[in-house]
Amino acid sequence: MYEPMVSIIVPIYNVEEYLEETLKSLVEQTYNNVEIILVDDASTDKSLQIASHFAEVYRNIKVIGQTFNRGVSVARNTGLDLANGSYIMFVDSDDLLSKNAVQIMMGIVSKYSADLVLGMYKNFNDNGMYLPAIFQSYVDLSEGIRVFDYINTELFSNVYTWGKLYKKELIENLYFPENINYNEDIPFSMYTYLYANKIYLAPTTTYFYRIRQQYDSLSLIAPKNPISSLNDIFASFKVGMEYFESFDDKKYLLEIYISRVVAGSIKYIFEGALQTKDALVHKKVLEHLINWIKSLNPTIVYNQSFRKVFVENGGQYLNLIDNTSAKLYIELLRIIKFKMQTVFEQKNI
């Protein structure tokens, strides 16, 4: 029986401690027609040697070593350019696939002609593993309710590119923005959610996401580098908005997308920066947010997430900042209020 090829793309950077376990989970897949593309982003540890060793043993593995560090987006794009499969998966180099992950997801493709399949995932660390809240209501999924339509807000809680199976035709001309290092996968995910005709959720765990508490983790670096992180979020948001511009029935989804970026990403950086107790960081972050919000169309700022993130906890924020930053914060609130009022008045003309 013919099995369409699945290309698994793995960007690698300094993960010698975990890489062998990850690669074992890929080569042991029960689905037969798999190619594994390992893109080493100029690792300085033994990651490239480990990847090369696996490629010597397994004929379906190809290794690309980049001569200098260019970031995860470039590594993924390199993998996309080299992929021969009719379907694409991304796996982070410290995570794991269940042994039958590809077979389960390709079974859904075969049965339902799916363009995009989301596998349920579990987070894990040295203390154990658990199912994220977004999947807890789906533990006993029946086949009749697996399919998503475009109004499912649950999709927007899963903005990661890993743990999913993409029909290659869906992402044929889609790439990751290479100038963005944080939130780089959100525009990619938004595009696939907007343009996939059939989206299914596999009713079982297919992916295991490793939570690392290390200095080089992006989730830890982001709050420590709030300006660069905000720049990445703003750039990512701009790319995502461009995808919405060419989508016909976009209003409902656009509201969810804006809320996801503001309440799910910007809030994290903003509140993390205030917790630093560094007055200069407070000032720079507030100035950055003011300039960004000034540039936005009032209809974007009218989204309730701006009020929830920046207005509702104002008393707590003021307790964390000095007088100079307090004036900036009040200016930020003034701009938000003005833009919201503008839209409100237009709606009531």
- pTM for the whole structure: 0.88
Six token digits for residue 90: 């991304």
pLDDT at 248: 66
Higher-pLDDT residue of 212 and 297 is 297
Q: Which of these ranges, 15-24, 159-168, 201-210, has the smallest mean pLDDT?
A: 201-210
pLDDT at 221: 52
- Amino acid letter, residue 47: S
**Average pLDDT of the chain, as a whole number:** 88
Give the largest CA-CA distance in the chain: 71
Residue range 151-182, pLDDT digits in tens: 456 667 788 999 999 999 999 989 999 988 88
pLDDT reading at 17 higher than 60? yes
- Helix/strand/coil (H/E/C) assignment for every residue in the chain: CCCCCEEEEEEECCCCCCHHHHHHHHHCCCCCCEEEEEEECCCCCCHHHHHHHHHHHCCCEEEEECCCCCCHHHHHHHHHHHCCCCEEEECCCCCEECCCHHHHHHHHHHHHCCCEEEEEEEEEECCEEECCHHHHHHCCCCHHHCEECCCCHHHHHCCCCCCEEEEHHHHCCCCCCCCCCCCCHHHHHHHHHHHCCCEEEEEEEEEEEECCCCCCCHHHHHHHCHHHHHHHHHHHHHHHHHHHHCCCCCHHHHHHHHHHHHHHHHHHHHHHHHCCCCHHHHHHHHHHHHHHHHHCCHHHHCCHHHHHHHHCCHHHHHCCCCHHHHHHHHHHHHHHHHHHHHHHHHHCC
Six token digits for residue 61: 């593995």
pLDDT reading at 339 higher than 60? yes
Q: Which residues pair with 207 in a beta bridge?
A: 97, 121
Q: What percent of the chain has pLDDT over 90?
A: 66
Query: CA 109, CA 304: separation in Å to the nearest integer?
Result: 37
pLDDT at 215: 43
Higher-pLDDT residue of 140 and 250 is 250
Angle CA 330–331–334, to nearest 5: 90
pLDDT at 139: 47
Q: What percent of the chain has pLDDT over 70?
A: 88
pLDDT at 134: 66
Angle CA 204–207–212, to nearest 5: 140
Q: Which CATH number fits domain 6-210: 3.40.50.10210, 1.10.4190.10, 3.40.50.620, 3.90.550.10?
A: 3.90.550.10
pLDDT reading at 74 higher than 90? yes
pLDDT reading at 202 higher than 70? yes
Domain residue ranges in the chain: 6-210, 218-347
